[in-house]
Amino acid sequence: MMHDDHHQHEHDDTHEAHDHEHDHSHDDGHDHEPYVEDYFLGEAMSVERLSPSLIRVVLKIAGGERLIPSGHADEWVRLALRPDADTPVTLPVKMEDGEWGRPDGSKHCPNRPYTVRRWDAASHEMVIDVVVHEGGVAASWALGAQVGDVVGICNPEGRLWVPKGSQWILMLTDITGLPAVGRVLEELPTGFKAIVHVEVPCEADKQEIVTQADVSTVWHVCHGLRDDREGYTELPRIAGEIKELPEGSGYIYIAGEARAASACRKHFRDVLGFDKKRIDAIGYWIEGQARV
């Protein structure tokens, strides 16, 4: 997960992973294999209420031997769901011209990005943690998900890329980024310094994450709608309270509501003067808008 190239990019970030049949052609300056477009069906093996705000679904991926992990610890898939109650999930197919499409006229399936919390390449089981919220095809599916439900996924892609020589990582996320925090902390090398701030809706959403890294975690119990303030998230306030960063070179990963993530990036870049090439801020969701 530690790499020797530097980020060449500063993305807008609010429309990352915008479509299931999406464009992977952008050159992100990373030394990894180009994205291979591919689609899979997954069947829910278990559905569990992990905590008040999270539903954990374990999917068995058919043809999982073809799945190509991205090499990024924050990798995600687009989770494709039934277009309507009467129509099953179907996948695009590779056509004669090499493009992916639906020549049989099958219905496009709505899909949303979800972090691969865990991938077991031997059993082809994929763990996904879905945040419960009002509305939304994905959250609504998760709330009523049953063992045996079939969904679609694509090959994973990812962003998190700790520049080689970094001495620390700072992760600042709301609860939608908690699955990424879990996966990243599990994969960090022994003793690597990590500072983690996660905004969750309630105490019971805090998680115990097993890691070899040297982690200090601060939980902020304030996510969600409340009468006493506007909006869902206090991520920009939480960022603003971070007045100094550790010694040495580091990397900052921000995930949350799109405008909030962007405001957090500005704090580190403009107020603390941190190198913008060492910040990835991703709008995981967009208040008032579907994440299509």
Ligand X SMILES: Cc1cc2nc3c(=O)[nH]c(=O)nc-3n(C[C@H](O)[C@H](O)[C@H](O)COP(=O)(O)OP(=O)(O)OC[C@H]3O[C@@H](n4cnc5c(N)ncnc54)[C@H](O)[C@@H]3O)c2cc1C
Whichever of 113 and 236 has its CB closer to ligand X, that residue is: 113
Closest separation between CB of residue 110 and ligand X, Å? 7
Closest separation between CB of residue 213 and ligand X, Å? 20
For the chain, the C-alpha Rg in angstroms (whole number) is 19
Closest separation between CB of residue 84 and ligand X, Å? 14
Whichever of 64 and 75 has its CB closer to ligand X, that residue is: 75
Max Cα–Cα distance, the chain, nearest Å:
57
- CB neighbours of 129 closer than 8 A, spacing ≥ 6? 50, 54, 55, 56, 57, 114, 115, 117, 178, 179, 182
Coil, helix or strand at residue 193: strand
CA 198 to chain centroid, in Å, comes to: 14
Whichever of 178 and 193 has its CB closer to ligand X, that residue is: 178
Residues in touch with ligand X (CB under 6 A): 16-17, 76, 112-115, 129-131, 133, 135-139, 176, 179, 232, 282, 284-291
Whichever of 90 and 176 has its CB closer to ligand X, that residue is: 176
Tell me the residue number closest to ligand X, measured at CB: 136
Closest separation between CB of residue 154 and ligand X, Å? 12
Task: State the residue for tokens 């993305």.
Answer: 11
Whichever of 34 and 135 has its CB closer to ligand X, that residue is: 135
DSSP string, 225-266: -BTTBSSS--HHHHHHT-----SS-EEEEEEEEHHHHHHHHH
Closest separation between CB of residue 199 and ligand X, Å? 11
